[in-house]
Chain A
Amino acid sequence: MEIGVLRRDGRTDPFFDGTASDRLVIKRCEACDRWFAPDAAGCPECGEEDLGWAQASGAATLVTWTVLPKDPPAFLALVELAEGPWLHARLDGAARADLREGLPLGVAFEHPDEGESYILFRPWTE
């Protein structure tokens, strides 16, 4: 499936600065010690609207998944980062037989010729 070209929207630049240098940078509320997805609008605990950015470990687990009937099939998922937030994501290197709740995953960074770098998640192997 054609992924197309990714552009910045001015609201998530630290995320794309991170992917360009192989770092997963997401939002974080220091006061509440809570982590959020890169497009979170604020902290629902304390109401803070200007969340900071911080580097996540890149470790995750599989929550649920769907497979699009493309050639090759596209494995799409909800993943739970070790820090707690869920991200809608695309899996790479996964087979149907691997898919289960809690499957350990690790982030991978893709650097296309044109447009911003993006992330995929791969089954975690030691």
Chain B
Amino acid sequence: MGTSRGTSIAGLGMTELGRVYGRSPRRLAADAVRLAAADAGLALGDLDGLLVSHGMGGSPGIELAGTLGLRDLRLLSQVNAFGATAGAMVSYAASAVLSGTATTVACVFADAPLKPKQSAGSAYNRDAREWYGFGGMTAALGLRSVNSYYALAAQRHMARYGTTSEQLGAIAVATREWASRNPLAQMRDPITLADHQNSRWVSEPLHLLDCCLVSNGAIAVIVTSDDRARDLARPPVHLWGWGQGHPGHRKERGSEFGLTTGAASSGATAMKMAGITPSDVDVCELYDCYTYTVLVSLEDYGFCAKGEGGAFAASGALGPGGSLPTNTGGGQLSAYYMWGMTPLSEAVIQARGDGGERQAPSSDVILVSGNGGILDHHSTLIVSPHRKGA
């Protein structure tokens, strides 16, 4: 067998996720890297690269290398593209392996925004008696939560294309149906469309069941060459393609805010590299901070026409038994919110065939998305249990 120029994910490490208290984000990150290395059958000393990312708390950073006792690293950096970071980290790790910069790179995300006895929603909310400057005025007047910014985006899509709350609800219901089959999911009780419609408004047009969870925990993956991955403990999850898209929509006349996202360009880049089209994709693991994010990503990736994401979701395509199994672990809406590591971790599980009751009928080509800011940043990965072109 000759050598190839491909890269793979060889290890996956996941700490307990959800209301997990008593461990700092740095400690959680260290635990996830250890778990990922063990999963791959590697010793920590086999790692020669580490890429680190964090949530809103600002930790961990590159000091994680010291925490883990890693020595003589050839690649060490903090990466931040908000919710697009996981896909970006994996692509940088793969590029480093292909260039010879490093051979075996751990990529980790950790966050612990939840505190004991605190509601999940309040973990990200802003409140104050005094506000400063023009930006402070915007917050003072009521725009204090990311929920409201995504609500503005979703409402624009609804007004322009006739997208409905019930269509968003179809995404919430399908995602929960997947979660009910995932022992790792935080929310496993099935929901109906009526449950979605009756859940309280967070910021119209978004109901509570349109919004993701908040979770503590950490997830890491190990990226290495196909040739090395082949000799490790678990079947390689091959990286076929990657891309990013940062549309830079200006807040001014003519802006496409809320209508199109960076999924369009990042998806095109990743699919071209992978040599596939949307019709080749068996499973989607999409960044679902909100149901609406799934809907607009499906359109921008080309799984349906622009403006038809609502009808596509309502057709039943996304749930178990559907034509495009999407967020098969329950996503961020129902399973766990580890930013871009939520869709990536489930993609690895599906590619390995480890999905148990939720294993998709076919998982030869899996698309993974990341979305950051208010639809400002996007990343895409195409992964497969098979070598590209094999």
Contacts and interface: CB of A to CB of B under 8 A. Distances in A.
A69 B203 CA distance: 7
A37 B135 CA distance: 10
B133 A8 contact: yes
A85 B251 contact: yes
Given A3-B141, A84-B252, A118-B141, A66 B205 contact: yes
Contacts of A90: 141-142
Interface residues of B, number: 37
A38 B156 CA distance: 23
Given A88-B138, A118-B140, A66 B133 contact: no
A7 B136 CA distance: 8
B136 A86 contact: no
A69 B156 contact: no
A100 B159 contact: yes
B134 A64 contact: no
Interface string A32-66: 00001111000010000000000000000001111
Contacts of B128: 4
B133 A9 contact: yes
Among B130, B133, B138, B255, chain A packs the most CB atoms within 10 A around the CB of B133
Interface string B252-270: 1101011000000000000
A44 B249 CA distance: 12
Contacts of B148: 66, 68, 76
A6 B131 contact: yes
B137 interface: yes
A93 B120 CA distance: 33
Interface in B197-245: 200-206
Given A44-B250, A76-B142, A118-B137, A4 B129 contact: yes
Contact of B258 (A3, A10, A64, A85): A64
Nearest to A8: B133
B115 interface: no
A37 B160 CA distance: 24
Given A64-B156, A65-B152, A69-B201, A3 B250 contact: no
Among A10, A76, A84, A119, chain B packs the most CB atoms within 10 A around the CB of A76
B204 A4 contact: no
Given A44-B250, A76-B143, A88-B143, A68 B152 contact: no
A80 B132 CA distance: 23
A12 B134 contact: yes
B12 interface: no
Nearest to A37: B251
Given A69-B204, A86-B251, A90-B141, A7 B131 contact: yes
B173 to A, nearest CB: 22
Contacts of A10: 133
Contacts of A108: none
B210 to A, nearest CB: 12
Interface string A1-36: 101111111111001000000000000000000001
24 contacts: A3-B140, A4-B129, A4-B140, A5-B129, A6-B137, A8-B132, A11-B134, A37-B134, A64-B153, A67-B204, A69-B202, A70-B142, A76-B143, A76-B148, A78-B152, A78-B257, A80-B252, A84-B253, A86-B251, A90-B141, A118-B140, A118-B141, A119-B137, A120-B141
9 tightest A-B contacts by CB? A9-B133, A66-B151, A64-B156, A90-B141, A86-B251, A67-B204, A12-B134, A9-B132, A69-B201
Interface of A: 1, 3-12, 15, 36-39, 44, 63-70, 74, 76-78, 80, 84-90, 100-101, 115-116, 118-120
